[in-house]
Amino acid sequence: MPRSFPASIVQVAVPTPLHGHFDYLPPTQGPLPTVGARVRVPFGRRRVVGLVVGHGQTSDLPEGRLKHIEAVLDETPLLDTPLLNLLRWAADYYHHSLGDVISTALPNNLRQGKAAMARGIERYRLTQAGQATAPDTLTRAPRQASVLHRLQTHPEGLTLEQLRADQDSEPRPALKALIDKGLVASHHQPCLEPPRVERPDAPVLNEAQQLAVSRITASLGGFTCHLLEGVTGSGKTEVYLHAIEQVLERGLQCLVLVPEIALTPQLLERFRQRLNTPIAVLHSSLNEGERHCAWLSARSGEAGVIIGTRSAVFVPWARPGLVIVDEEHDSSLKQQEGFRYHARDLAVMRGHREAVPVVLGSATPSLESLGNVERGQYQRIELPGRAGGAVAPRLKVLDVRQQFMDEGLSTALLDAMQRHLEADGQVLLFLNRRGFAPALICHDCGWVADCHRCDARMTWHAGARRLRCHHCGHETGIPVRCPSCGSALAPRGQGTERIEQALHKHFPQYPAIRIDRDSTRRKGSLESALEGVREGRYRILVGTQMLAKGHDFPNVTLAAILDADQGLFSVDFRAVERLAQTIIQVAGRSGRALRAGEVMIQTHQPDHPLLSSLLGGGYTAFARTALTERREAALPPYASLALLRAEAADAQAPLAFLEKARDHLQSLSPPGIHPWGPAPAPMERRAGRYRAHLLLHAPRRQDLQQALTPWLPELTRLPGARQVRWSIDVDPVDLT
């Protein structure tokens, strides 16, 4: 029974899997901490940083068990009330710990209790003595010589992260030694680049773009969700820029979300060229100091525009004006581990709660967003044609059945590549499979290099001479001979490495570049590669999803999808939608300037309904058909799903736990809830653990939420709960 106390009880959210808040007594000295401020509190045997989420006069704990707050870290709220309320809503909707949700919203420095003040970005620069010192005089300190030489080629200075990218070893010890010798000094500069003095004139908008900007800006000051559907090359970014300029003129801020880091450099450069405001950037490739500084610059209002990946949806801002989600269909906007939120959906909810318009942009909108248009919840804005006079590319299906294939390249495709290259065009090849080959087998006995921890084959990476599992990260060397019979081993299938090798053989006179996660690991390598493509240093591009979306390659005249069959057959009902989006996005890289573009799709299923629909009526026709199928099958967006996952080292434990969970749910008799399963996951064993799924289906979202609220807290008390790790995924986008 709750007990009353003469002093206020401070309710604190602590980063822990336990739900709810924890009650503390005020600090023994000083004022009561405000809601939204960080505090340091004892939690078990630890001292942790939590956030004050409320005050009260009662507690379920006796006074003797309540502990005092040890330190108040913020005099004023770090998170304002609207943002804190959004985080509460997200914790409730996704059924996740409020403390963990708040922790997700904060940069790591603030989670650790560091001061909420920005020192700027630390850069290292040569002193006069350092400028006069030749690196070859440091013969006994080669690492110091290397750092000194690097700084001499960059008189403006370099950050620690930039130095790390250029050195084979950690540069800190060498930097410290150079500083002690008086050859190098560190200084802090503002973390936001100042607006550029010279900015190019904005291009003239066509009629459709002007109408789109007018509709967006007319809704400023209140909530409306606009779905900006424009074919690739239709000038969506120009619509963003013109709308943002009007937001800035009103003294407001704009938040722009992109699905992947790969899209950030090009978009950021374009924004910096055009917008007269500092821009804060937030993504996982930044170091802690850069993220900390950018986050605080957004919160203070110094940054007029905030650009970031999915976690940027939680960034505080001083003057809310407009939220933009680019490539809103992209599944990367959904967090797949821990707090499994969808940044697009939270962006819409944030706009609704803070009374600002939201723009969801895509050439291939998600069926969920199209369903919301159908219900009248979103307003659709269309950009039907390419900007600047460019014409849509021609799509052609290449039937490769019974055709000779050289390393995954058909004769028809090779001929088309030769034709476009001779006409001074660039060629883009898309294959969503990195590595050299997805399998290594023995032709004599059938042995296959499988991952011993997953139900998956190891991928052969020729450059690294390693076998790697792309699911758990396990890797090993390549066996010289078959471990079973001693025969020679052979790669089977194609990855981007193998295609790159084949390109050097077929087109030795045309420079080719591979762009995937393996080739762009080092910081700055992706930006350098994309710059080389745009400057024409590379004539052939081969890559994965990193190439498929958002990039503007004006000289690409041929784009080819090397294996369209990958997405045609899958246990996930969303696989066909994702394939359709990929085909249209890859096609959109071709013919973006005044030169005509061509798209070729290699497939063994040329008569598949998806391909026929896309070729006959484009993405609009496909989406119309797909929505009809979803409605008849009672699948999202015409129903709601939640996926309960369980995993354990023992194969039977996950299924046994999920059966108990299903039985308990049915005992509660929730209306409208249909449990499907449990069943083993499509890849049952991953990273040495067995996985199983229980899918909950409900025609109405509110019924699903009402069922989850009393059911989930009871799962920890079920038999077998301690033998498994389980998690709930509301609105899952990946059922594998």
Task: List, for residues 118-147, the tens digit of each pLDDT value.
Answer: 666 778 888 988 888 888 888 788 888 888
CB 129 within 8 A of CB 183: yes
Look at residue 167 in the predicted model and tell me its pLDDT. 59
- Indicate whether 260 and 302 sit together in one domain: yes
Stretch among 49-63, 218-232, 381-395, 661-675 having the lowest mean pLDDT: 381-395
CB atoms within 10 A of CB 455: 16
pLDDT of residue 498: 92
The verdict on 549 and 674 lying in the same domain is no
- Whether 253 and 321 have beta carbons less than 8 Å apart is answered as yes
Residue 445 in any domain: the answer is: no
By the 8 A CB rule, do 725 and 698 touch?
A: no
Domain CATH for 8: 3.40.1440.60
Helix (H) and strand (E) counts for the chain? 21, 32
Q: Tell me if 254 sits within 8 A of 306, measured CB to CB.
A: yes
Residues 604 and 656 in one domain: no
Question: Within this chain, do residues 51 and 96 fall inside the same structural domain, yes or no?
Answer: yes
Residues 6+ apart with CB under 8 A from 297: 118, 191, 192, 278, 280, 303
Residue 474 falls inside a structural domain:
no
Has residue 450 been placed in a domain?
A: no
Average pLDDT over residues 41-55: 94
Predicted confidence (pLDDT) at residue 186 exceeds the cutoff of 70: yes
Indicate whether 620 and 556 sit together in one domain.
Answer: yes
Cα distances (angstroms) measured from residue 171 to each of 149, 162, 164: 13, 10, 6
Task: Report the chain's mean pLDDT, rounded to a whole number.
Answer: 89
Give me the pLDDT at residue 611, please. 84
Residue-level pLDDT at 665: 96
Residue 482 is predicted with a pLDDT of 92
Which pLDDT score, from 0 to 100, does residue 190 have? 76
Residues 296, 376: one domain? yes
Residues 417 and 516 in one domain: yes
pLDDT at 7 over 70: no
Average pLDDT over residues 150-171: 76
Which residue range(s) make up the domain with 142?
121-189
State the pLDDT at residue 386: 73
Tell me what the mean pLDDT of segment 13-34 comes to. 91
81 & 220 share domain: no
Q: Among the three residues 388, 422, 451, which one is the final residue of a domain in this structure? A: 388
Question: Is position 451 within any domain?
Answer: no
Residues 326 and 414 in one domain: no
pLDDT of 429 reads 94
What CATH number did the domain enclosing 346 receive? 3.40.50.300
* Lowest-confidence region among 165-169, 415-419, 661-665: 165-169
∠ CA 459-464-470, rounded to 5°: 30
342 occurs within a structural domain:
yes
Residue 463 lies in a domain: no
Q: Is the pLDDT of residue 711 over 90?
A: yes
Q: What is the distance between the alpha carbons of residues 225 and 229, in angstroms, rounded to a whole number?
A: 13
Instruction: Look at the chain and report how many structural domains it folds into.
Output: 5
Q: Does one domain contain both 687 and 623?
A: no
pLDDT reading at 392 higher than 60: yes
Of the residues 137, 155, 189, the one at which a domain ends: 189
Residue 443 reports pLDDT greater than 80:
yes
Closest CA to 392 of 231, 556, 238: 231
Residue with tokens 């336990």: 18
Domain end: 141, 159, 189, which one?
A: 189
pLDDT at 256: 97
> What is the band of 290 on the pLDDT scale with cuts at 50, 70, 90?
confident
Q: Answer whether 224's CB lies under 8 Å from 379's CB.
A: yes
pLDDT at 407: 86
pLDDT beyond 70 at 594: no
The per-residue pLDDT for 419 is 92
At residue 147, the pLDDT reads: 86
pLDDT band per the 50, 70, 90 thresholds, residue 286: confident
Contact 589, 548 (CB under 8 A): yes
pTM over 0.85: yes
Cα distance between residue 240 and residue 594, in whole Å? 23
The whole-number pLDDT of residue 100 equals 96
Are 236 and 345 in a shared domain?
yes
In the predicted structure, residue 391 carries a pLDDT above the cut 70: no
Query: pLDDT band for position 523 (50/70/90)?
Result: low
Does position 175 have pLDDT exceeding 90, yes or no? Answer: no
503 plus 621 within the same structural domain? yes
For the ranges 3-12, 202-211, 285-294, 608-617, the lowest mean pLDDT is seen at 3-12
Contact 689, 649 (CB under 8 A): yes
pLDDT of amino acid 6 = 55
Is residue 485 situated within a structural domain? no
468 assigned to some structural domain: no
